[in-house]
């Protein structure tokens, strides 16, 4: 009965052209979040291999039992130092971190204010907490201020630094000022910001110091897992009460070691950070020069607007046949009429690959 219902839902998605294809794909990768190319770096591989040799492949136990190793401890300390916080902790994924932070901090009678484009993990954390929730228009500080001024329930404001569909950056300074003025707690999900925006690619925390910073390690850091930074009190509280931390197997230590190696590269202002910036500028220059419709994004996420689901899917297929993998973001994930290719740039791309991609989009006659 339950599985039949799921199957009916899938059939409906097929009719609406919204069923996702899960398959192995080959080609030049303009679809992943490995913005600095760190997932292929020898430094990360060496760290992970050495830690597999010393600790094995598994996480073995939860943090509070036996799962917490010196690799998790070192990674937490490195994160606190690099992002400028008193303390930090390691969650097994960004999804678990967002769910854990929000559901632990908030309860019935509290309130969470979400940017309308927030990631599912932030929304799900709010739903799990039982708190009231409202969504303000995307990056609209005036509406956020209005919501903040209307009630004095304990409030968490949850935003992303860089939004994953448009690649635009939040108005961090103004949002922090509003939270401070109205006594709200600010959570910034820096999943797509670290490695990309801020001084030496260090993300949102070089512009502001949100009360809580979440850094997913599976994007520019090229690894897996997530870091949560904040005060000593916050981290002690989450370590004891967050159910997505306490009741799950710890991230395997080899993965923590790989993330440590990635933070060390960030700390050393590795040349990949500048290469990514120059690839972003090159892409924008060439795409605008060929008349493609871009968003006002200066991050690694660069949408090319197509504006129709069928043309979009044909274009993505055409590109794949030519050896380029891109994200195709259809309605209803984005508003009808704003269907787009999502190009994810990386320091691992060459200028020639970027030029070839753009000329294939142009040559397709689908845009």
> How many whole angstroms separate alpha carbon 206 and alpha carbon 127?
30
Q: Smallest distance, Å, CB 5 to ligand PMP?
A: 26
Q: State the minimum distance, in angstroms, from the CB of residue 6 to ligand PMP.
A: 22
Q: Which residues are catalytic?
A: 33, 119, 160, 164, 189, 192, 219
Q: Name the one residue in this structure whose structure tokens are 């509290």.
A: 110
The tokens describing 1, both together, are 């009965």
The closest of 191, 168, 163, 188 to 176, measured between CA atoms, is 188
In whole angstroms, the minimum distance from the beta carbon of 56 to ligand PMP comes to 22
Q: Cβ closer to ligand PMP: 145 or 330?
A: 330
Minimum Å gap between C-beta 219 and ligand PMP is: 7
- Distance, in Å, from the CA atom of 230 to the CA atom of 211, rounded to the nearest integer, reads 6
What's the rounded Cα separation, in Å, for the pair 190 and 30?
A: 20
- Residue 188: other Cβ atoms inside 10 A: 28
| Bridge partners (DSSP) listed for residue 90 | 227
β-sheet bridge partners, residue 136:
115
The residue with its CB nearest to ligand PMP is: 94
CB-neighbour burial class of residue 343 (10 A; exposed 0-12, middle 13-18, buried 19+): buried
DSSP 339: -
Nearer to ligand PMP, 55 or 342 (CB): 342
In the complex, the smallest distance separating the C-beta of residue 121 from ligand PMP, rounded to whole angstroms, is 5
- Compute the Cα dihedral for 311, 314, 318, 324 and give only its sign: positive
Q: How far is the CB of 17 from ligand PMP (least distance, A)?
A: 22
| Site residues (vs ligand PMP, CB under 6 A) | 93-95, 98, 119, 121, 160, 164, 189, 191-192, 216, 218, 226
Reported as type and span, the H/E element at residue 161 is none
Residue 60, sorted as left (phi over 0), alpha (psi -120 to 50) or beta, turns out to be left
How far CA 171 is from CA of 220, 222, 298, in Å, comes to 21, 26, 14
Show the DSSP H helices in the chain as ranges.
2-15, 42-55, 70-83, 94-105, 120-129, 141-150, 172-182, 232-241, 243-246, 253-267, 271-289, 309-321, 351-363
Pick between residue 41 and residue 192 the one whose CB is nearest to ligand PMP: 192
Cis geometry, peptide bond prior to residue 332 (ω within 30 degrees of 0): yes
Q: How far is the CB of 27 from ligand PMP (least distance, A)?
A: 21
């Amino acid at each position: 009965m339950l599985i039949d219902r799921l199957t009916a839902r899938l059939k409906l998605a097929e009719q609406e052209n919204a069923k996702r294809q899960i398959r192995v794909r080959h080609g030049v990768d303009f679809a992943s979040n490995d913005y600095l190319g760190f997932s292929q770096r020898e430094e990360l591989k060496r760290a992970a291999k050495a830690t597999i040799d010393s600790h094995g492949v598994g996480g073995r136990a939860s943090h509070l039992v036996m799962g917490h190793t010196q690799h998790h401890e070192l990674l937490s300390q490195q994160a606190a130092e690099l992002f400028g916080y008193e303390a930090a902790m390691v969650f097994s994924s960004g999804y678990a971190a967002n769910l854990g932070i929000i559901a632990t901090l908030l309860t019935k009678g509290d309130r969470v204010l979400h940017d309308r484009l927030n990631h599912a993990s932030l929304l799900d954390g709010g739903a799990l907490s039982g708190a009231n929730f409202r969504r303000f228009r995307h990056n609209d500080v005036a509406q956020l201020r209005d919501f903040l001024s209307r009630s004095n329930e304990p409030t968490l404001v949850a935003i992303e630094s860089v939004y994953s569909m448009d690649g635009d950056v939040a108005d961090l300074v103004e949002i922090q000022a509003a939270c401070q003025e109205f006594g709200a707690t600010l959570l910034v999900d820096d999943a797509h910001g670290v490695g990309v925006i801020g001084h030496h690619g260090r993300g949102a925390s070089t512009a502001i110091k949100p009360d809580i910073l979440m850094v997913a390690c599976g994007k520019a850091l090229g690894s897996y897992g997530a870091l949560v930074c904040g005060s000593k009190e916050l981290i002690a509280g989450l370590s004891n009460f967050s159910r997505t931390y306490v009741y799950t197997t710890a991230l395997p230590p080899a993965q923590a070691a790989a993330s440590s190696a990635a933070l060390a590269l960030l700390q050393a202002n590795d040349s990949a950070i500048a290469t990514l910036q120059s690839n972003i500028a090159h892409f924008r220059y060439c795409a605008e020069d060929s008349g493609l419709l871009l968003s006002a994004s200066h991050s690694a996420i660069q949408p090319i607007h197509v504006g129709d689901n069928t043309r979009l899917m044909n274009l993505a297929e055409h590109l794949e046949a030519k050896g380029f993998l891109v994200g195709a973001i259809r309605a209803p994930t984005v508003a009808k009429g704003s269907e787009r290719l999502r190009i994810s740039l990386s320091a691992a791309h060459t200028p020639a690959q970027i030029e070839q991609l753009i000329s294939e989009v142009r040559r397709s006659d689908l845009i």
